[in-house]
């Protein structure tokens, strides 16, 4: 079986978020996939199994399987196209989050991949989870909960606060959440900046997190305006040490009334670079 390591949401090697992509030739037990994810020791290892109209796609952190992963989906699509394993400009993945679509596009003479993901609108919590501010090391006035992915979201005053955070990960792991998003309005050319911490998934900090932007897009739609209308397209920067760029576009059901027009889907666009090709011996 072939395996690849891909840096996602970046145009430069050794940036963005690294993911392993394993091309399965037959179904494998969950325990085997979890062991391989532990062996790779990256934030995500993706497993692709061919199906009649696309691929079955699953994602594992070193600790457990997850329901949705953006950067490993981007990496998977990149491998299929760059290795000549898929000819069409559209790939369909069957996942725990339903059918996900990847599109190949050329933007400014560069290859980009668009991912069609479900949007998730966070809800304001009545009370900030105890210990969250202390674990993050910054004041937290309000917190939002995403039910679909079990993420917490916190907005802070400036992008500098986001960039300079040094959380206590042992304390953060006591917060009952799959991941914590910290975000702030950014300085041009970016619309917003974020970081993502997930010690409960075995990842202290994820370098660039596609699934977090399924929550961040709807959140910032209601807080940023363009020509006096809610903004629906964003250029986002995830400010980890490796860093990464994500284009975000919200898609709203045209039949919905304006008052109830929550975004249904999020289009995430990014680039990717293959840094390793290998063959599994075990």
* Digit-coded pLDDT (tens) for 97-119: 999 999 998 777 788 999 999 99
Neighbour-count burial of 118, counting CB atoms closer than 10 A to its CB (0-12 exposed, 13-18 middle, 19+ buried): middle
Residues 112 and 130 in one domain: no
Residues 104 and 178 in one domain: no
Residues 80 and 137 in one domain: no
For the segment 87-99, the average pLDDT, to the nearest whole number, is 96
**Which tens digits make up the pLDDT trace of 28-53?**
999 999 999 999 999 999 999 999 89
pTM for the model stands at 0.92
Residues 96 and 215 in one domain: no
Residues 137 and 263 in one domain: yes
Residues 16 and 40 in one domain: yes
Element (H, E) at 104: strand 98-107
Residues 191 and 91 in one domain: no
Residues 129 and 105 in one domain: no
List the structure tokens of 203.
Answer: 């990842």
**Which tens digits make up the pLDDT trace of 145-175?**
999 999 999 999 999 999 999 999 999 999 9
Tell me, what's the pLDDT at 252? Answer: 77
Residues 161 and 264 in one domain: yes
Number of domains present in the structure of the chain:
2
Do 199 and 167 form a contact (C-beta atoms < 8 A)? Answer: no
Question: What is d(CA 164, CA 47) in angstroms, rounded to the nearest whole number?
Answer: 34
Residues of the domain holding 244: 123-268
Tell me, what's the pLDDT at 87? Answer: 93
Do 70 and 209 form a contact (C-beta atoms < 8 A)? Answer: yes
Residues 165 and 109 in one domain: no
pLDDT tier at 230, thresholds 50, 70, 90: confident
Residues with a catalytic annotation lie at 44
Here the CATH number for the domain that contains residue 33 is 3.10.310.10
| Percent of the chain surpassing pLDDT 90 | 89
Residues 77 and 145 in one domain: no
Tell me, what's the pLDDT at 259? Answer: 43
Tell me, what's the pLDDT at 256? Answer: 52
Residues 81 and 139 in one domain: no
For the segment 222-229, the average pLDDT, to the nearest whole number, is 77
């Amino acid at each position: 079986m072939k395996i690849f390591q891909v840096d996602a949401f970046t145009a430069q090697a050794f940036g963005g978020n690294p993911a392993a992509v394993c091309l399965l030739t037959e179904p494998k037990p969950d325990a085997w996939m979890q062991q391989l994810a532990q062996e790779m020791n990256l934030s995500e290892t993706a497993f692709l199994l061919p199906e009649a109209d696309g691929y079955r796609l699953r994602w594992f952190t070193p600790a457990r399987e997850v329901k949705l992963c953006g950067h490993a989906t981007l990496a998977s699509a990149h491998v299929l196209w760059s290795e000549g394993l898929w000819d069409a400009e559209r790939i369909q993945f069957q996942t725990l989050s339903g059918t996900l679509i990847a599109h190949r596009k050329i933007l400014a003479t560069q290859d980009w991949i668009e991912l069609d993901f479900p949007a998730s609108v966070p809800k304001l919590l009545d009370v900030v989870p105890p210990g969250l501010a202390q674990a993050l090391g910054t004041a937290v006035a309000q917190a939002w909960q995403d039910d679909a992915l079990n993420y917490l979201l916190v907005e802070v005053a400036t992008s500098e606060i986001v960039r300079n955070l040094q959380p206590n990960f042992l304390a953060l792991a006591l917060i009952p959440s799959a991941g914590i998003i910290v975000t702030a309005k950014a300085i041009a050319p970016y619309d917003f900046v974020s970081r993502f911490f997930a010690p409960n998934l075995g990842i202290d900090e994820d370098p660039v997190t596609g699934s977090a932007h399924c929550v961040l897009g709807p959140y910032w739609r209601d807080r940023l305006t363009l020509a006096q209308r809610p903004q629906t397209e964003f250029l986002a920067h995830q400010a980890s040490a490796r860093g990464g760029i994500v284009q975000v576009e919200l898609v709203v059901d045209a039949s919905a009334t304006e008052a109830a027009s929550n975004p249904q889907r999020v289009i995430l666009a990014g680039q990717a670079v293959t840094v390793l090709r290998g063959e599994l011996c075990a």
